[in-house]
Chain A
């Protein structure tokens, strides 16, 4: 089966600019996750979708981050405006209910 696809792999922007990441999960996986992984740390959940509904966005900085999963398939995560502390790898994962997550290779974001 095809894995979780993410794009772009790398992105460099200046602070206060906007950026968007895209994720296409494994076909049939109802649950989709976005994580932020800062260098040297474990993944931190930003938002979790069940189909096209949000089930957990408690750690999403909603003043600058937004995410959507239209039609319950692929998803986009947006940052507007970006801050220096947003430099991180943004990981997307998908899963079936109560099953392990499958991760994409991530998008490495650098803020100048």
Chain B
């Protein structure tokens, strides 16, 4: 099973700042299988990025994804108040197995 490790666990930033969230896989993953989600308290996750770098429908262009191999990054260029939430990366691997990272909490500084 491929393990996804997200860092940092918690990121404290102010609105207007740039956020960089990391997702590292325990082995090489297919770039096309990497996605990022945002989850706010009491809500279902919301798809932000798929295929590592493609923005989902309706997602603002301040969100961007990059990476390949074992290292993937979600960047939020200028934080808006509504961006403070928990972010998860996800991948699909062998044995038809989907796995998620443990999440990065983005909190207001």
Say whether A and B bind each other. Answer: no
B interface, CB within 8 angstroms of A: none
